[in-house]
Chains A and B, each alone.
Chain A
Amino acid sequence: MSTDSMHAMPPEPSSSTPPPSSRASRQDEGTAWLGTVLGWSAWAMFFVSLVFAVGWFRMRAPWPELPISRWAMGGTGLALLVGNGLLPLAVRRDLREPSATPFTPWVALGLGLVFLALQATWTHLAWWNEHLRIPEGGVPASAFYGLTALHALHVVGVMFGFFLVAVRHLRGADVRASLRRHVLGWRFVSGMWLFLFAAVYLP
């Protein structure tokens, strides 16, 4: 989300307050932060609705065990959960050393790629080796492939955001504030993966 031309409140002159431009910029950052938090929080309703639908199906009939080990699926999610711990540390380091190349986008891109590669491997194995197909697999197979793909699309979106931040940094822009905001996207996909794991991957 752009903060370039955000409206800022008029500053009130005071000797103890920071200069107007810095206050306005802080307010812009606050506005962008609020927008990001509200946006992701509201968009969680998308996954809540998907989980509601899967819950409905699970109440109707027993949910079969997936052909892929739940440990493998759970281990895959660790890439996201580890990112939750690592990314704030990386952001802190990047904020401390503004002149250095930021770590955060690269950590995020690396962990995201690991996660997506593992998810792709499990779905590939499920389709080709274990013959879990749609439409023959009914709702469980639909939920496995469909919701995994929708979640993966969100992960790709968040990674793309980090990629753009890296590009902006290479072009010389100050990306510290956007780094903090983009970590919220990572938190979102991690949280939603927990939903996915509980609703779809566990029998």
Chain B
Amino acid sequence: MSLFATDHKAVARRYLWSGLGFLLFGGLLALLIRWQWAFPGQPVPGLAWALPESRGALTPPTYTAVFTMHGLVMIFFAVTPLLFGALGHFVLPLAIGARGLAFPRLSSVGYWVYALGGVLVLASFGLRLGPASAGWTAYPPLSTSVFTPGLGQTLVTVAVLCAGVSAFLYGLNFVVTVVRCRAPGMTWGRLPLTVWGLFYASVLNVLFVPVLAAATVMVLMDRLLGTQFFVAGAAAVGGGGDPLVYQHLFWLFGHPEVYILILPAWGMVGDFVAFFSRKPAHGYRLTAGAMGAVSALSGLVYAHHLFTSGMSPVLGRTFMVLTLLISLPAEVMFLNWLMTLWRGSVRLTSPMLAALTTMVVFGLGGITGLALGAVATDVPLHGTLWVVGHFHLTMGAASFLGVFAGLYFWFPKMFGRALHEGLAKAHVLVSAVLFLGVFGGQLAAGYAGQLRRLYDPYQYTFLRHLLPLNQWTTACAFLLGAVQVLFVVNLVWTLRRGRAAGPNPWSVGTLEWTCAPSPPPEDNFPHVPVVLRGPHALSQPESLERLGRDWLGQAEALPGEPASASASEPPALGVVT
């Protein structure tokens, strides 16, 4: 297969392998951070080759670079590309009955821009002063050349710009594809919830990624051309700029980015709880509307990240109210999922387990976020590990489990082979429990006052008693890393020797499972499907009575049902006759 193929499935596979590679890399960096908090200043076993001068121990500058790169790699090069680049590219055209994305060449270009960014990130590790080390947010003036000299920070800033351009391109592609390329009969009310999630997140991508691009370009100009947009204080020349502007711009992108990362996962959870409860999704329209409401509000709440940066109290209160408001549509969605599960014939498959654990970790992450949305509680908690635990539960654990829910669900369609269910279930369950251990430990340490980003927290007497807690949390993190071997083994074994998957192993009715073989051919469908119903036609009495099964394809006519243009279509794939 050509590396420059423009078929959406080929692009998706390229994103998948790159994203998984960066996930592994970002995860290893996370383990280094955890090691430092458990055994501060002690050599990391096996790292002496990389850090010969300190015999493998993390020095303060190395530690700073490690936590910076962990955040950047995970957000821009692992989780986002896996959700959109891999799952989004693969699923979206298939789920709406399109033969491909609206702009196939654009999606391929987007991948190569992302890949260029990835190469720059990796190259930055080989530089004399190391990679970026101004935190993943790259706040100036720390990220300007005054405080972080060297090429590493510059390369990584360009890499973030590349990831942003790539996100803008696929966001635009997805929006236009959903608007223009839906199959006949695929009305907005018949879209799978996954497509709704991807659509809303893509709208946020195209609206807010340019804001990140503007902020990043200004930082680059400050670093390379000597402009003074964000340089302040003693380093400033000619009056100087204001670093606070960057914070506003960054979070105007950064907060919607949280939703960009979780909306596709929410969509998948909505679909999977319906599929595997064998029930139509409860309150489908309300769930889709709630996702829209969250998307609309997500651009209006960003300044809660700046409560401690200096802000008018009126603005502070306004943003607090807006932030707390956003939890209402989220609650609606959550309740709809629970109602879907209620009295359903729940099948605990690996995608379902991943969806359920996504609900749990996201619920916990959301609740712990309420304390950060209110000014009075945010001020004491803002600089602590509480924030780290909160956003790792929402952006890290929930997105990670969402990615694996999608991967376990669509893997048979992607590769035509079925993963080992037992290994997949064990991977999901143990990962979820360990996520709670790691990020729960961070929440507890943060509540006890441990400040974030400290090289050696125990230099403060009042934090010394937290060492055992941090060691316990570190043990959970290393176990979490080890458990990923289950996935790797499952993946490698399945790709080499896995059993062939049927066209519809989950017995669901969406187009990719009922109208396309596994894996789908280049044009996706032998015939463009004509959609007759919504995505969750499960356990319908007519279907049970006339077909003897509890699911009905979206483009499948019941015997005797007027089938409009689909009369000449073949029966749904995966049907045992």
Contacts and interface: CB of A to CB of B under 8 A. Distances in A.
B228 interface: yes
B241 interface: yes
Given A31-B180, A45-B208, A6 B103 contact: yes
Contact of A35 (B172, B248, B565): B172
A60 to B, nearest CB: 7
B227 A134 contact: yes
Given A7-B181, A34-B179, A38-B172, A135 B206 contact: no
Given A57-B242, A136-B237, A146 B229 contact: yes
A45 B106 contact: no
B239 interface: yes
A137 B103 contact: no
A2 B108 CA distance: 12
Given A45-B208, A146-B218, A39 B172 contact: yes
A2 B176 CA distance: 13
A43 B210 contact: yes
A136 B238 contact: yes
Interface in A26-55: 27, 30-32, 34-35, 38-39, 42-50, 52-53
- The prevalent SS among residues of B at the interface is helix
A39 to B, nearest CB: 5
A186 B215 CA distance: 24
Nearest to B527: A10
B230 to A, nearest CB: 9
A156 to B, nearest CB: 15
A138 interface: yes
Contacts of B252: 49
Contact of B184 (A10, A39, A134): A10
A83 B93 CA distance: 38
A30 B181 CA distance: 11
A1 interface: yes
A81 to B, nearest CB: 23
A97 interface: no
B206 A46 contact: no
A201 to B, nearest CB: 17
A145 interface: yes
A86 to B, nearest CB: 28
Q: How large is the interface on B (under 10, 10 to 19, 20 to 34, 35 or more residues)?
A: 35 or more
B102 A135 contact: no
- The prevalent SS among residues of A at the interface is helix
B208 A142 contact: no
A56 interface: yes
A52 B229 CA distance: 12
Contact of B102 (A31, A139, A141, A150): A31
Nearest to B205: A42
B207 A42 contact: yes
B241 A57 contact: yes
A43 B248 CA distance: 18
Contact of A139 (B103, B208, B225, B228): B228
Nearest to B215: A49
Interface in B1-27: 6
Given A1-B106, A134-B226, A150-B217, A141 B180 contact: no
B481 interface: no
Interface string B171-196: 01101110111011000000000000
A139 B175 CA distance: 37
A31 to B, nearest CB: 4
Contact of A5 (B104, B177, B231): B104
A31 B181 contact: yes
A146 B225 contact: yes
A10 B172 contact: no
Contacts of A143: 229
A9 interface: yes
A155 to B, nearest CB: 16
Nearest to B171: A42
Contacts of B118: none
Given A43-B210, A135-B237, A141-B238, A9 B184 contact: yes
A30 B176 CA distance: 10
Given A2-B104, A7-B100, A60 B242 contact: yes
B105 A2 contact: yes
Contact of A7 (B99, B228, B248): B99
A142 B229 contact: yes
Contacts of A45: 207-208, 210-211, 214
A43 B183 CA distance: 29
A61 interface: yes
Interface in A43-93: 43-50, 52-53, 56-57, 60-61
Given A31-B176, A135-B228, A139-B228, 20 more contacts: A1-B103, A1-B105, A2-B105, A6-B104, A7-B100, A9-B528, A10-B184, A10-B565, A35-B102, A45-B214, A46-B211, A46-B214, A49-B214, A56-B244, A56-B245, A134-B226, A134-B228, A138-B236, A141-B238, A142-B229
Interface of B: 6, 93, 98-106, 168, 172-173, 175-177, 179-181, 183-184, 206-208, 210-211, 213-215, 217-218, 221, 225-229, 231, 236-242, 244-245, 248-249, 252, 528, 565
29 contacts: A1-B103, A4-B105, A6-B181, A7-B181, A12-B565, A34-B176, A35-B172, A38-B172, A42-B206, A45-B207, A45-B208, A46-B210, A46-B213, A47-B214, A49-B211, A49-B252, A50-B218, A56-B242, A56-B245, A60-B242, A134-B225, A135-B227, A138-B236, A138-B237, A138-B240, A139-B228, A139-B241, A146-B225, A146-B227
Interface of A: 1-2, 4-7, 9-10, 12, 27, 30-32, 34-35, 38-39, 42-50, 52-53, 56-57, 60-61, 134-139, 141-143, 145-146, 150
Q: Which A-B residue pairs are the 5 nearest by beta carbons?
A: A138-B238, A142-B227, A49-B214, A138-B239, A42-B206
